[in-house]
Structure 1
Amino acid sequence: MTPAAAAKLEALVAAELAAPAEPGAAMLAARQLTEEILARHGSGVEAVLFYGACRLNNDPAGLLDLYVLSSGHRAFHRRWLPALFNALLPPTVLHWRSNGLAGPVRAKVAVLTLRQFERRLRPASLDTTIWARFCQPSTLVHARDPAAWHRVEQAVAQALTTAALWAVRLGPPAATPVEYWRGLLARTYGAELRVERGNRSERLLAASPGWYGPALILALARLGLATAVDAEGRLRPGRGGDFTLSWAIRRVCGKTLNVMRLVKAAFTFDGGPDYLVSKIARHTGVTIELTGWQRRHPVLAAPILLWRLRRDGAVR
């Protein structure tokens, strides 16, 4: 890892994380929710990140995705049982609702400590979920102080570095940056219980064309890998080895963790079952009608619902 390459990657990340000079409606909604989170949890919050489809599409009417990085579980949750659950299986996902100037605002708020966030962005992590999220563009809506801001910048740079490493480990010896990203995103989606259509990765790449190419090249440079592009626009990073088994382990761990988090969300996410089926219908066209019993007992109903979704092709 070269210091110059690391500095360039962190500069790219800092520019992307910075709040826009003219925020759109979704960004304003994310700021409002962040202020409410800070008012309730205060010193327990180190930083708040805004990412996901609503950020990408500037859609304040949808369910915003916020990541709250806390200073500690007891500092944020205050009660010992929620703190324990989050320590054992982060992140805890909360449903946050507010009345905005333009109407109701809702968010899916994932909470974990800043230290947990940093650890799960390393290449050795068996949990691919978080680095797969934050190699994509995001905005740092709040940081408690310059030290927290710098730690988040470094963490997101690490997410990109981990993504680049796995992209070339699992990809062909030579490919364009887009081809490496396309293959990696397909793999990371395959390590989760996804309800998005198969063209999700294509839409992500098309939405931020100025991000993925430079980010991959700078991350490869940080790793000390070759970044020269041939006449056909292909990279030859020169990363050898067979990582099929390593990724297979991560795929199994990822799906298992997703199931466990869904079960935990049944206790922490208000209206969780209805949110899940509405998301499935929106992304796949598969409609599921929940019974009153299934709404009251989401954990007991989960195995049957999951079997139906897999049967109908709504999740992979």
Structure 2
Amino acid sequence: MPSQLLPLVTAELSAPADPRAAAMAGALAAKYPQAARAVLFYGSCLREKNLDGLMLDFYLIVSDYPAAYGKSWLARANRMIPPNVFPFEHQGLIAKYAVLSEADFARLNSMEADNVSVWARFAQPSRLLWAADDLARQRAIAAVAQAAPTLLSLARPMAEGQGDALALWRTGFTLTYNAELRAEKTGRSLSIVDADPDRYRRVGDAALADGLPSSPADTPAHWRSLQRRGKRLSVIRLAKASFTYAGGIDYLAWKINRHAGTQIAIKPWQRRWPLLGAVILLPRLFRGGAIR
């Protein structure tokens, strides 16, 4: 039976985006001429009409890590704890981009993923703004098309008998927000669906019609594992970013202030020793409820 979901994902990924974001995606790919395969634009900025002053979010998909970096510790770090995250500026806009290989991007959007970070994002709208060739485009689309079925399959046993697509989405996003360190206010996970219920119903109904992948035998235990691993990975990635991401601690403060309504100010010593500064900052944020 032909897929009902794949045409919807293809159309959404191919829909127009802000021309400045598209230009930024092309410039980002040009930084990795031997490895770039696709560039995807995602996140809250996708819905904004004015990108000035915002931090855009991209995923750069590469053929493999040695081709992207050469034989360096960055390739090993990206393979062992994907993704690597870097800042980027182009024509007055600022962004951060995460680097994943084609193989890791496909795996982390699927039921094989051991954390929620990729499929939770790509179950939401995104745009494929650049692809090296048609094969790269088709691989990126196929990877993204796994994200919604993964979320819905893992949400269904947890939805207390509610089979409606929107109920599954709301359950799934609530669970994913508990599987990462999040700065957003309580209820943010539900507002994702409420912002565009027609989109989520269309995509959800198509995924259900195609048939979802099998859920784990003990789905609640699987979610507990995802939540434990997700929180640990969030801390580990933060530590890694202190070495790979110039200004990473300032970005952390900016993101938390934006989403949680806090007024965190980074001190000069925290910029000088960002890993130590982040480690000291995190417990305070937990106690104050700024991150969960």
* TM-score interval, smaller chain: over 0.9
Within a 5 Å distance, the mapping from 1:151-190 to structure 2 comes to 151-190=139-178
Following superposition, the deviation at residue 11 of structure 1 comes to: 0.6
Within a 5 Å distance, the mapping from 1:60-209 to structure 2 comes to 60-61=51-52, 62-99=54-91, 104-209=92-197
Question: Percent identity between the aligned chains?
Answer: 37
TM-score by length of 1: 0.87
Instruction: Tell me the residue number matched to 1:36.
Output: 27
Mapped to 1, the partners of 2:146 and 2:219 lie a distance apart of 20
Mapped to 1, the partners of 2:241 and 2:233 lie a distance apart of 12
Deviations 1:64-107 (A, max 9, x none): 000000011122223512111111111110100122xxxx1001
Within a 5 Å distance, the mapping from 1:6-45 to structure 2 comes to 7-20=3-16, 23=17, 27-45=18-36
Instruction: Tell me the residue number matched to 2:207.
Output: 219
Instruction: Tell me the residue number matched to 1:58.
Output: 49
Deviations 1:167-204 (A, max 9, x none): 20221212432222111111101100000112322332
Instruction: Tell me the residue number matched to 2:250.
Output: 274
| 2:265 counterpart of 1:289 | yes
Mapped to 2, the partners of 1:301 and 1:162 lie a distance apart of 36
Mapped to 2, the partners of 1:223 and 1:142 lie a distance apart of 30
Mapped to 2, the partners of 1:125 and 1:81 lie a distance apart of 23
Q: Is the 8 A contact 1:135 1:159 kept in 2?
A: yes
Mapped to 2, the partners of 1:98 and 1:173 lie a distance apart of 48
- The range that moved more, 265-274 or 183-192, is 265-274
| SS of 2:130 mapped into structure 1 | strand
Instruction: Tell me the residue number matched to 2:291.
Output: 315
Mapped to 2, the partners of 1:152 and 1:40 lie a distance apart of 19
Following superposition, the deviation at residue 239 of structure 1 comes to: 7.7
Q: Is the 8 A contact 1:286 1:312 kept in 2?
A: no
TM-score by length of 2: 0.94
Higher Cα Rg, which structure:
1
| SS of 1:87 mapped into structure 2 | helix
Mapped to 2, the partners of 1:94 and 1:242 lie a distance apart of 37
Mapped to 2, the partners of 1:222 and 1:286 lie a distance apart of 43
The answer for unaligned runs of 5 or more in structure 2 is: none
| SS of 2:95 mapped into structure 1 | strand
Following superposition, the deviation at residue 275 of structure 1 comes to: 1.2
Instruction: Tell me the residue number matched to 2:236.
Output: 260
Mapped to 1, the partners of 2:106 and 2:116 lie a distance apart of 13
Mark the CA change 1:197 to 1:224 in structure 2 (over 3 Å): closer, same or farther.
closer
Q: Is the 8 A contact 2:29 2:60 kept in 1?
A: no
| 2:237 counterpart of 1:245 | no
Following superposition, the deviation at residue 224 of structure 1 comes to: 5.8
- The range that moved more, 285-294 or 136-145, is 285-294
Look up the equivalent residue of 2:75 and give its one-letter code: A
Q: Is the 8 A contact 1:52 1:138 kept in 2?
A: yes
Q: Is the 8 A contact 2:173 2:190 kept in 1?
A: no
